[in-house]
Amino acid sequence: MGKSIRIFLADGVATGIRHGEIVNWSGQGIACPRVRLLELKAWPETRRPGVYFLLGIDKDGREAAYVGEAEDVFDRLKTHVQEKEFWNEVIIFTSKDDNLTKAHVRYLESRLHNLASQAGRYTLENSVTPQEASLPRGDRDAMQEFVEDVRVLLGVFGHRLLEPLAPVPLALAESDHEPAASTGVVTPPDTSSSPVFFLRVSNVVARAMRSDEGIVVLAGSDASRENLDSLSGGYKAHKERMLAEGVLEDSGTKLRFARDYPFSSPSQAAAIIVGYSINGRDAWRTATGQTYKQLEEAQAFQLPGPSTSE
């Protein structure tokens, strides 16, 4: 279901303080650079109970976040200026109708922290996992809807912290199938979801799915330990970072993906997996033998052609 979103730029620039709301939603979001924090004192929206995300880069150069809650968000943020150095932006979510209580924001903090942890996109700086507050069933359902709108607006503000990397149910549904031999026949794809793609080279077997960001290699996939000269220096460095961050782990004669991991293109994913330059659009295949390239072309053929005028 579609959503209509309004963004107000307080200074008329996208890098300043931004206020966001979703039409017919009781909540609101405010994004603010750390250097502009003092200006939020004049925003009554920040002096209410709410949840917030501190966002920045950790000491290892990875995207990092802290999820918190407070009865007066602005007051709490003043302590984080003194105690936490990593963050350079804060995004606050409060209610426009003053209906959020301490119990509500504690519940939200726990749910949002869990979603961020499951997504695995950012390193979480919380030293303690927030505990979920007890709420009546009706309030829990209302807060679940609030969480979904926080997820959407957080993404609009430029942070996919809560977005899962791949649709897990579809990945599991096709995970037991092996790719068939290619027939060379392009069949119309199911455009409602992404199939699982397979990459098989020697003893390396990997699975992946397309996403809005490119392609996501699924947890449990193999990767070669060896890199040949044809693998670019940038890809070699990327693979080293994945090892250092625990994305790739030792599995005897091979490496294994410890979690789902996104790549910008099928060729980038394939090259880092096999350890040499490779055309990923031809190497990745579905369980029916259709290549990544064939699926893309089949979908392109379904697009309407340019209109002509008399």
**14-28, 108-122, 157-171, 274-288: segment of lowest average pLDDT:** 157-171
Taking the domains of the chain in order of start, what are their residue ranges?
5-156, 168-301
pLDDT > 90 in the chain, percent: 76
Q: What's the predicted TM-score (pTM) here?
A: 0.74
pLDDT of residue 62: 86
DSSP code for 291: B
pLDDT digits (tens, 9 = 90+) for 219-265: 999 999 999 999 999 999 999 999 998 999 999 999 999 999 999 99
3-class secondary-structure state, position 267:
helix
Q: pLDDT value at position 297?
A: 87
Per-residue pLDDT of 27-76, as tens digits, reads 999 999 999 999 999 999 999 999 999 999 998 888 999 999 999 999 99
Once rounded to an integer, what is the mean pLDDT over residues 187-207?
75
Q: Which residue has the higher pLDDT, 194 or 117?
A: 117
With cut-offs at 50, 70 and 90, classify the pLDDT of residue 212: confident
CB 303 within 8 A of CB 216: no
**Residues above pLDDT 70, as percent of the chain:** 88
Q: How far is CA 296 from the centre of its chain?
A: 23
What's the confidence (pLDDT) of residue 300?
A: 75
* Whole-number CA gyration radius for the chain: 23
**Number of Cβ atoms within 10 Å of the Cβ of 2:** 3
pLDDT of residue 171 exceeding 60, the answer is no
* Number of Cβ within a 10 Å radius of residue 68: 23
Q: Is the pLDDT of residue 186 over 70?
A: no
